[in-house]
Amino acid sequence: MPQAYVEMKHISKRFGTVQANDDVGMTVDRGEIVAILGENGSGKSTLVNMLSGMYVPDSGSIVINGEKRFFKSPQDAIAAGIGMVYQHFKLIPVMNAWENISLGEKRGDVPSEGLRGWRTPFLQKKKIIEKIQALEGRFGLSIQHKKKIYDMPVSEKQTVEILKVLYRGASVLVLDEPTAVLTPQETTRLFSMMRTMKAAGCAIIIITHKLQEVMEISDRVTVLRKGKSLSTVYTKDTNPRELTELMVGGSISLEIHREKPLVQKNPMLEVRSLSLRDPEGVQIMDALSFDVFAGEILGVAGIAGSGQKELCEIITGLRRPDSGAIRFLGENLLGLSPRGIKKKGIRLSFIPEDRLGMGLAAGMSITDNILLTSYDSTQGPLIDRLKGRIQAETIVRRYAISTPSVQHIVKKLSGGNIQKVLLGRELEREPRLLVTAYPVRGLDIGASYSIYAMLNVQKKRGVGVLFIGEDLDVLQELCDRIMVIHRGVLMDIVYPQGALGVPLGKPEVSKEDIGLLMLGHKSELYGAAHTNPA
């Protein structure tokens, strides 16, 4: 059997007492796409970070094209043809595409035009663009070379990142969660690019939690569990359920049980003509209006940066809009702080996107984080820590949080358990309205499906749920209605395929239809004369 182009043999890596990788092995050949699957904490990121030179293995070897290599830094990996495309792009927004692609280019002796304000006057702009154009022709890629990064949608930024590693001579591409924030149309375009690069002889490694994408794009799948490489299988010989069982060590349901929404005449939350500009005058939200009913999950779909974060912060009292109105069961919310909302007896819970930066205090224990929501109602100068510990133990037991004790520091928990602490704390407050932003971002399959089940329990209890999500398959399966926004503008409120209780005459839309709306292509979906059918 011929030797693979990339081989990682008997790789081990320890961080303190944590064994991140334990005798892990994997291979990928030229013209092949290999997916790496595993739960959070299984060692996926550690493994590829050693391949990209971010970490040095404690033991084991990395072989590239038959030659044993030792990477002390990312520069060593780049020199060996390894290109890493991270989920969070490493681009400079105020620079344009060709400038970002050529960062790190060796200096020549011909002054460059452009690069205003960048003190590197020795790059040869014409030669750089010619080299980029040659790469575009070879791999079927295309970008606007002079376009600023801050003017690009996510898919264009990703193309710039891919061209950047190809420009540096990469023959091995490692893509970390590349479709996390892409629309179906953008994902289709990315997969087309990957197939072209595969045909051109690139070796490609992809990390993703989306099993359907694994089945669609990969040739082989390497499954990691608890730091060990458990199995490598050919994609054509497996299926999502088998891969899930390999990852978690048992069988779990991959179905989201959808409860029929409660029939409600009047909305619980009314948002009218909400508008917001940032300090530079850029319109973040433009006359946004919608309702949330008790006992329903209203999903929000939109490309990253379309106003989702700001919408959550306005509803929960963390930010003031420029104009608009918000009423909860007839009670005015606008202008109230989170404490003011609580004092009015409005039971509103918020699961923010940044679970450790905004939701929890990373350096505090589970018990102390539970107490954070009740310290302002404490009588006298002393906090009832016994009551807090009892509450924490209840939450740990009820939400199956894996922790040594309730005094364990939150940041030392896994991502899924951190999110369960946050969700458990907020749900134990028995909210009437739950606002949640990307609650399963970065979580593995088991943790994600347990959180979907929690949200459905809240819906069944009559809680109104506003669910900001990025996985359109999940939005389709979980939500009763989906509000689609594009750059802060409401494109439509639609019913997903398979939704229960859809009114007569209201069409059900596919995720591809939602993707078009997310990109702002309303006329392509409904026709130029369409206004708003919802």
Three-state SS across 409-473? Answer: EHHHCCHHHHHHHHHHHHHCCCCCEEEEECCCCCCCHHHHHHHHHHHHHHHHCCCEEEEECCCHH
Predicted pLDDT at 12: 95
Predicted pLDDT at 382: 56
Residue 179 pLDDT greater than 50, yes or no:
yes
Q: For residue 299, which phi and psi values (nearest 5 degrees)?
A: -85, 155
Task: Write the pLDDT tens digit of every residue in 246-260.
Answer: 888 777 777 787 878
Contact 290, 491 (CB under 8 A): no
Residue 527 pLDDT greater than 70, yes or no:
no
Residue 529 pLDDT greater than 50, yes or no:
no
Predicted pLDDT at 113: 47
- Rounded-to-integer distance, Cα 124 and Cα 105, Å: 10
- Hey, which CATH number is domain 6-81+171-248, 3.40.50.300, 1.10.760.10, 2.70.98.10, 2.60.40.10? 3.40.50.300
Residue 422 pLDDT greater than 60, yes or no:
yes
Q: How many other C-beta atoms lie within 10 A of the C-beta of residue 67?
A: 8
Tokens of 224: 């990691």
- Rounded-to-integer distance, Cα 257 and Cα 500, Å: 11
Residue 534 pLDDT greater than 80, yes or no:
no
The four Cα atoms 318, 461, 330, 327 give a dihedral, to 10 degrees, of 30
Nearest to 475 by CA among 184, 241, 214: 184
Predicted pLDDT at 330: 87
Predicted pLDDT at 524: 67
Find the length of the chain: 534
The SS3 of residue 114 is coil
pLDDT band at 176 (very low <50, low <70, confident <90, very high): confident
Average pLDDT of the segment spanning 416-437: 89
pLDDT band at 16 (very low <50, low <70, confident <90, very high): confident
The four Cα atoms 42, 45, 50, 52 give a dihedral, to 10 degrees, of 160
Which amino acid, 363? G
Average pLDDT of the segment spanning 102-114: 55
pLDDT band at 489 (very low <50, low <70, confident <90, very high): very high
Nearest to 194 by CA among 161, 219, 160, 217: 217
Residues 6 or more apart in contact with residue 348 via CB below 8 angstroms: 315, 316, 328, 341, 431, 432, 433, 434, 435
Tokens of 397: 């037991």
Contact 111, 194 (CB under 8 A): no
Same fold, 6-81+171-248 and 253-347+430-534: yes
- Rounded-to-integer distance, Cα 482 and Cα 502, Å: 12
Strands 203-207, 18-28: parallel, antiparallel or unpaired by DSSP? unpaired
Residue 116 pLDDT greater than 70, yes or no:
no
Of the two residues 314 and 16, the one the predictor is more confident about is: 314
Strands 228-234, 220-225: parallel, antiparallel or unpaired by DSSP? antiparallel
Residue 455 pLDDT greater than 60, yes or no:
yes
Of 106-110, 366-370, 497-501, the poorest mean pLDDT is in 106-110
- Rounded-to-integer distance, Cα 288 and Cα 268, Å: 17
Average pLDDT of the segment spanning 315-322: 92
Q: Distance between alpha carbon 421 and the CA centroid of its chain, in Å?
A: 19
- Rounded-to-integer distance, Cα 140 and Cα 278, Å: 37
Predicted pLDDT at 70: 92
Average pLDDT, the chain: 85
Of 51-60, 321-330, 408-417, the poorest mean pLDDT is in 408-417
H-state helical runs in 461-532: 472-478, 511-518, 522-526
- Rounded-to-integer distance, Cα 203 and Cα 45, Å: 18
* CATH number at 253-347+430-534: 3.40.50.300
Nearest to 78 by CA among 90, 69, 87, 66: 69
Residue that has been written with the tokens 């069409």 in this structure = 507
- Rounded-to-integer distance, Cα 183 and Cα 337, Å: 34
Nearest to 512 by CA among 470, 468, 472, 483: 472
Tokens of 408: 């364990």
**Domain chopping of the chain, boundaries:** 6-81+171-248, 253-347+430-534, 359-428
Contact 72, 56 (CB under 8 A): yes
pLDDT band at 124 (very low <50, low <70, confident <90, very high): confident
